Chains A and B, each alone.
Chain A
Amino acid sequence: QKEVEQNSGPLSVPEGAIASLNCTYSDRVSQSFFWYRQYSGKSPELIMSIYSNGDKEDGRFTAQLNKASQYVSLLIRDSQPSDSATYLCAVRGGWGKFQFGAGTQVVVTP
């Protein structure tokens, strides 16, 4: 079992719709959770961080964390073509190490 799992996609989303991305992790003592966006050939760019159970909103992005289910998600509202990218879920485990999921490719179609 991978430590951080994401659906690889591609996730095709019509422009203006909501994109829903999911991530599960195996280490129960994981401390903090991050979503990064990565355009092809570029470095990862931080979108959201979340540390407590519940929802956290920042503009069109909402991160949701459920530690009991070991699940973190990212919603992108009013999806735009510029949101087309790979979204990486990252988890800082109990050992302090950053672990990335394989990433979900999102394609926003006009």
Chain B
Amino acid sequence: DTEVTQTPKHLVMGMTNKKSLKCEQHMGHRAMYWYKQKAKKPPELMFVYSYEKLSINESVPSRFSPECPNSSLLNLHLHALQPEDSALYLCASSPHGTGEDTQYFGPGTRLTVL
């Protein structure tokens, strides 16, 4: 199984809503990532969890809150988002998060903030 799954596929939310994005992998990987991708731009790294500890936090606004309940699951909690936060949110995982690790991406969640 080389799959990273993400739910939901699409999400529309208002600026006052609270929602969560979910990501799951069963490859035994110990590093998981959240990226944000705007149209015609490359993915931008938001957070990295390595061995269930937050190891990289790219100065993302506090309205985005990551959570890693266990080595297979990664959540991104959303609160009071702005319309400019509308984007494709990608989850990825890799075996260890270092060295020659390859990242494998999930299908993404298309988020629209009204």
Q: Does A associate with B in a complex? A: yes
Binding site for B on A (CB under 8 A): 31-32, 34, 36, 41-46, 49, 51, 88, 90, 92, 96-103
B107 in the interface (beta carbon within 8 A): yes
B100 surroundings in chain A (CB, below 8 A): 31-32, 49, 51, 92
* B97 with A101: CB separation less than 8 A: no
Interface centre among A43, A92, A102 (most CB of B within 10 A): A43
Which of A43, A49, A99, A102 contacts B108, CB < 8 Å?
A43
Which of A31, A36, A43, A45 contacts B99, CB < 8 Å?
A31
Count, A-B residue pairs, CB within 8 A = 50
B49 in the interface (beta carbon within 8 A): no
* A43 with B106: CB separation less than 8 A: yes
Interface residues of B in 75-114 (CB under 8 A from A): 88, 90, 97-108, 110
* B102 with A49: CB separation less than 8 A: yes
- With A46-B103, A88-B42, A96-B97 already in contact, 16 other A-B pairs whose C-beta atoms are closer than 8 Å: A31-B99, A31-B100, A32-B100, A34-B102, A42-B108, A43-B88, A43-B106, A44-B43, A46-B102, A49-B100, A49-B102, A96-B56, A100-B42, A100-B43, A102-B41, A103-B42
* A97 with B45: CB separation less than 8 A: yes
Given A32-B100, A49-B102, the answer on whether A97 and B56 have CB atoms closer than 8 Å is: yes
Which of A46, A96, A102 contacts B42, CB < 8 Å?
A102
Interface centre among B41, B88, B105 (most CB of A within 10 A): B105
* B42 with A101: CB separation less than 8 A: yes
Instruction: Give the nearest-CB partner of A36 in chain B.
Output: B105
Instruction: Give the nearest-CB partner of A32 in chain B.
Output: B100
A110 to B97, CA, bound (A): 41
Instruction: Give the nearest-CB partner of B55 in chain A.
Output: A96
Interface residues of B in 24-54 (CB under 8 A from A): 33, 41-43, 45, 48
What's the minimum C-beta distance from A24 to chain B, rounded to whole angstroms?
15
